[in-house]
Amino acid sequence: MIDVDKLNYLSLHPIDKIVAEGTISIVNSGATSFPQGSLIVSETISNTYGRKAFARASWSIDSGVSYQSLESQVTYSFLYNTVAPAPVTSTPLRGLKAAISIGVSDTLITFRTANGFHGTVTDNGTTISYTPTSQTFIINYAIFERE
């Protein structure tokens, strides 16, 4: 059973009802072709409720040690090292480490993860290199009636 309080679920109406809940794990390699880009990985499951609905969720990228709210975007800083032409420079930049979104139709529930996490970027004037960091997203979700 999902702890609704951890999902930031707030209902001011007594008839709101959770119709489905669960946990899904999605691996996102973060392999992008641009250092300030994010890889989007989607996974879709059946909506057994059979009607459009609202979704609430919490998610983790650290094996469930800490959780973020559905609307959270986790950012980080990385170094962009320019090694050619001289002089060598090192510029700190901000990137998107992780975020999620959820969409619910009458037949499907779609989970999207965004991963832009990587180490230091090196630009030698011809190629840009960096190593993406794979992340496993653990998403706890609850689907509740719209009406």
Q: Report pLDDT digits (tens) over 72-90.
A: 999 999 999 998 777 788 9
Count other C-beta atoms under 10 Å from residue 60's C-beta: 18
pLDDT band for position 112 (50/70/90)? very high
Instruction: Please report the pLDDT score of residue 16 as a whole number.
Output: 66
Helix (H, G, I), strand (E, B) or coil at 9: coil
Q: Are 96 and 38 in contact (CB under 8 A)?
A: yes
Q: Report pLDDT digits (tens) over 4-31.
A: 555 555 555 556 688 899 999 999 999 9
Q: CA 26, CA 88: separation in Å to the nearest integer?
A: 38
Q: CA 67, CA 48: separation in Å to the nearest integer?
A: 26
Residue 43: which of 23, 63, 72 has the closest Cα?
23
Helix (H, G, I), strand (E, B) or coil at 4: helix
Task: Name 65's Cβ contacts closer than 8 Å, sequence gap at least 6.
Answer: none
- Token pair listed for 126: 């011809």
Q: Are 23 and 45 in contact (CB under 8 A)?
A: no
What is the pTM for the complete model shown?
Answer: 0.85
